[in-house]
Amino acid sequence: MSEPENKIGTYRFVAEPFHVDFNGRLTMGVLGNHLLNCAGFHATDRGFGIATLNEDNYTWVLSRLAVELDEMPYQYEEFSIQTWVENVYRLFTDRNFAIINKDGKKIGYARSIWAMINLSTRKPADLLTLHGGGIVDYVCQEPCPIEKPSRIKVDADVPPAGTLEARYSDIDINGHVNSIRYIEHILDLFPIEIYQTKRIRRFEMAYVAESYYGDKLAVAMQQAGPDEYHVEVKKNDDEVVCRSKVIFV
């Protein structure tokens, strides 16, 4: 039996010329933004979007993201993204995505984990009290065939592969470094020759802490396999901000 239509949101896009890389394919950063936007559209349409939460001094924050792709949309191609809620727990919720090409073929999936936090305390809030627990009405059993986000580890003695300072273009409306900016900074670590011969098969992000304008960010990268890399971003020399896993094929 198919799920009720109101549980799954479908949103359409075009791979604009300014959203693709030198290969003519949509970039992971832009795809990440589309995924986050779809999550926002879906939540807003069902009464638990950020604007509604802000009225009560709450917001959504992304904790984990895993994207697995067979291909990326090409320049000017139309594509769509479906999103749905897989599980709701007291302190976090699982949200999944499917990326669908112009021919209706599913070319990728994504899994994400979100928490709702109090804007004043930055502490997690109880999701099951949100609108009387109404969010659970949208839990959907649509399959998502990729693995859940995994544990990412970088050895403590791995030196930084790059450093940067959080600047104006990194900062989002919440006053901290935008989650997608980390993705872009991490992918800039790799030489262009990799992107000339390979593509990203799987990309993961685990967000640990927030960073702010002026923070000094050090990015350490460790090769974990022939085409697998683990990345750790620390701020001000000691506090881990996020970790990432990149697998090429």
Distance CA 65, CA 9 (A): 18
Distance CA 210, CA 63 (A): 11
In the prediction, which pLDDT does 1 show? Answer: 45
Distance CA 174, CA 192 (A): 32
Burial 83-113 (b: 16+ CB within 10 A, else e): bbbbebeeebbbbbbbbbbeeeeeebbbbbb
Distance CA 181, CA 217 (A): 12
Report residue 161: phi and psi, to 5°: -90, -15
pTM value is 0.94
Alpha carbon separation from 89 to 58, 63, 115, 121, 129 (Å, rounded): 17, 14, 10, 20, 11
Structure tokens at 229: 């890399």
Question: Per residue of the chain (249 residues), what is the pLDDT tens digit?
Answer: 455 668 999 999 999 999 999 999 999 999 999 999 999 999 999 988 988 888 889 889 999 999 999 999 999 999 999 999 999 999 999 999 999 999 999 999 999 999 999 989 988 999 998 878 889 999 999 999 999 999 999 999 999 999 999 999 999 988 899 999 999 999 999 999 999 999 999 999 999 999 999 999 999 999 999 999 999 999 998 999 999 999 999
Residue reference for tokens 């701020």: 235
Considering only CA atoms, which of 135, 97, 99 is closest in space to residue 115?
Answer: 135
